[in-house]
Amino acid sequence: MSTSSAMSARPEQKRFKGITLPPSGWTLAILLVLYIFTGLIGHDPWKNDDAVTIGVVHDLVRNGHWLSLSLAGAPYPDAPLHYWVAGATSYLFAWLLPLHEAARLASGVFTLLALTFIYLAARELHGREQAPAAPLLLAGSIGFLFHAHEAQPMLATLTAHTAAYWGLAQINGRALRGACCFGAALGLGFLANGLAAMLPLLPVAAFAAWRAENRRRAIVMLLGALLMAALLAGAWLGALQRDAPDFLAAFWQDELAVFAGGNQPLLNLTRLSGLLPWYAWPALPLAGWTLWAKRRQLRTLPLALPIFAFLVTLLAIITYLGARSTTALLLLPPLVLLAVPGVSSLRRGAANAFDWFNMITFSFFAILAWIGWSALVFGWPERLGQQALRLEPGFVGQFNLLGVSFAVLGTLIWCWLIVTSPRSPMRGIMHWMAGLTLFWLLIATLWMPWIDYGKTYRPVSAALAKALPEKHGCIAGLNLADSLLASLDYFDGIRTLALTSPAGKKCDLLLTTHGAPGAGSWQKVWEGGRPGDRRDNEKLQLYRRQAKTTANRQAGGDQQ
C-alpha cells in the first residue's frame, strides 16, 4: 500500500517541480533573451551615449556614410563596428520599428554575444556544471544592466573582450581554435572602440602563453592571432587612407590623445573604489570569496588568468582610459570568471542568506514598482502621484493593457520561481538574476512612459522647429552637447555650425544653453526645455543677431 502511494505521489511532485538548477538549455536562453530585449524599444533616444549613437546611425543610414562616420553633418571620428551593426538592424527592421528602436537592437545582439562568450570561457576554465553561473553573474551586475539597454558602442568592445577570454582559455586544449578566436576578437575589438580599449588584452595573452603547457606552440599561435587582428583592422584603415585620409588623421589624433596624459590615477582609483561595490554586485563579493576559499589554487590557470586580466584592465582604466561607467564594463568579464567558483563553494549559511536577501529585496521592489505605477496612472497613493507630477509637470498617465499584461505575467512567474526553485548553490544568483529581470521588466512596461516623457527631446525639438523663421539661413551653435545635436538632427533635421568657425560667424541665428556672448549683439527669440529642466543651463535658447550688428558686419565685409 505504501509502495503504491509513493508511486502515485511521484507524478504530483513532478507536476509542480520548478526549473532545474543549474539552469541550462531553453530555461537559461529564455531568461537571458527576456533580460536583453526588454526595454530596448518603446522610448525615444535619450541624452548622452544613447542619443549620440543613434544620431551617428541616423546619419549613416540617411547619407550612406558607412566608411567615415558623421554626426549631424560633422565628422565623428570613431571606430565603426557598433554603428555598422546598428545600421544593419535599422535596415532589417525598418518595416517594423522606427530607426532609433531598430538601431538599439544592435546592443541586444552584442549583449547576447557577450553572455554567450562568457559562458563558453567559464566552461573552458571551470567546467560545464559551473559555467551557467557566468552569464547570470554578468547579466546580474547592476552596472551592466544600464548600458545593456542603451545604444552603447562599448558593448561591442565588451563582447570582444569576452570572446578573447574564451580564446585564451583554450590555449592548452584547442590552441588553433583559441588563437583564431583571440585574433578575431582583437581585430573586431579594434573596429569596435579603437586601440586603447584592446591594449590590456595583449599582456593577458602573453601571460596565457607563458603559462601554457606547450609554451612554444602557444606563442606561435598567438603571433598568428596578432596577424589576423592586424588584417581585420587594416582593411578598414586602408580603405580610410584611400577614400577619407582626413577622417583617418582625426581618428588617430583622438586615439593618441587618450595616451597623452591628463588622467589622475589616484583620483580614478578612488572613483572606481566607490563605483565597483554596487556596479559589479554580486560578482565582486563572490570574486573576493573565491580568492579566500581557493587561496591555495590561485596559481592555476582558471584563477590566475582572470586575476591577471582584472589587474591589467584596472591599471589601463586608471592610467589612460579613465574611470567612467562605460570603461568599467571591461572589468566585469574577469571579475565574473573569478567569481564563478565562488558560487559553488559558498557556505550553506551564506548562500541561504544571499538567496533570502534576493527574494525579499526584489519582491519589495516589485511591490514598489506596482504602487508607483498606480500613482502615475490612477493618482493613488495621492502624495506619490503629486510627487511624480512635480518631477515631470504635465505628464498624464494612461492605462496600457499590453504593458500591464506583460507586467502581471512577469510578476506571476517570479512568484512561481521563488516557490518552486530547488535547493542548489546556484539558486541565489538565479533568484538575483530573475529578480533583476523582473524589476527591469516592470520599469520598462509600467514606468517607461513617465521616464521617456522627462528624458526625450522630441517636444523641445518640435517647438524649436516651429520657432525658427520659415526661410532662415544657417544656425550657429554654442556649448551644445553632442547628444543634443544628435537629437535635434534626428527629430527635425536641425543642424548647427560652430560659432567659432568661419561659417558660423556669418549666421544670424544662435542656439545655445549658456546665453549669448555679447549681450548687446543678440536678442533672445525663444527658450525651451524638457518638463523637468529647471536650471537655465539645461534649457535651449535661440537668439537672433541684432539688425544693427548685422548691418555693421555686412558693411565691414563690403569694405574688405
Strands (E), 1-138: 70-71, 74-75
Residues 6+ apart with CB under 8 A from 151: 45, 49, 50, 53, 54, 57, 86, 100, 103, 104, 106, 107
Residue 516 in this model has a pLDDT that exceeds 70: yes
Lowest mean pLDDT among 137-141, 260-264, 350-354, 495-499: 260-264
Task: Tell me which residue has cell 513617465.
Answer: 450
Residue 514 CB neighbour total at 10 angstroms: 11
- For the chain, state the CA radius of gyration: 27
Is the pLDDT reported for residue 306 higher than 90? yes
Residue-averaged pLDDT of the chain: 89
* Alpha carbons 161 and 181: distance in angstroms, whole number: 11
185/81 Cα distance (integer angstroms): 12
The CA distance from 433 to 329, in Å, is 18
Q: What angle do CA 291, 305, 125 make, to 5 degrees?
A: 90
CA dist., res. 507 & res. 502, Å (int): 10
DSSP 156-204: HHHHHHHHHHHHHHTTTTSHHHHHHHHHHHHHHHHHHH-STTTTTHHHH
- Helices and strands (H, E) in the chain, number of each type: 24, 7
> Mutual orientation of helices 245-258 and 215-243 as an angle, nearest 10°?
130
> Above 70 in pLDDT, residue 8?
no
Confidence category of residue 549, pLDDT binned at 50, 70, 90: low
d(CA 255, CA 198) in angstroms, rounded, equals 12
| Whether residue 12 has pLDDT greater than 70 | no
pLDDT value at residue 202:
96
- With bands split at pLDDT 50, 70 and 90, how would you rate the model's confidence at 548? low
Is it the case that residue 551 has pLDDT exceeding 70? no
14 pLDDT more than 90: no
Integer angstrom CA distances of residue 109 from 74, 133, 287, 391: 28, 20, 27, 34
C-alpha grid cell, residue 455 = 528624458
Per-residue model confidence (pLDDT) at position 60: 93
**CA-to-CA distance for 407 and 442, rounded, in angstroms?**
6
Predicted local confidence at residue 79, as pLDDT:
95
Structure pTM?
0.92
2 pLDDT tier (thresholds 50, 70, 90): very low
Angle at 187 between CA 184 and CA 192, to 5 degrees: 115
Confidence of residue 552 (pLDDT cuts 50, 70, 90): low
Condensed to tens digits (0 to 9), the pLDDT of residues 396-412 reads 999 999 999 999 999 99
The predicted-structure confidence for 93-120, as pLDDT tens digits, reads as follows 999 999 999 999 999 999 999 999 999 9
Residue 19 pLDDT level (bands cut at 50, 70, 90) = confident
- Residues 221-247 have pLDDT tens digits of 999 999 999 999 999 999 999 999 999
Which residues have CB under 8 Å from 45's CB, separation 6+? 51, 54, 55, 100, 151, 456, 457, 486, 487, 490
Work out the pLDDT band at 1, boundaries 50, 70, 90. Answer: very low
Would you state the cell numbers that stand for residue 225, as one nine-digit string?
Answer: 592571432
- pLDDT given for residue 490 in this prediction: 95
**Per-residue pLDDT reduced to its tens digit, 330-360:** 999 999 999 999 998 888 888 999 999 999 9
Per the CB < 8 A criterion, the answer to whether 287 and 302 are in contact is: no
Arithmetic mean of pLDDT, 471-480: 89
Q: What is the pLDDT of residues 71-80, one digit of tens each?
A: 998 999 999 9
Does residue 537 surpass a pLDDT of 80?
Answer: no
Residue type at 416? W
Reported as a pLDDT band with limits 50, 70 and 90, residue 496 is very high
Q: Does the pLDDT at position 3 exceed 50?
A: no
Q: 262 pLDDT band (50/70/90 cuts)?
A: low
pLDDT band at 557 (very low <50, low <70, confident <90, very high): very low
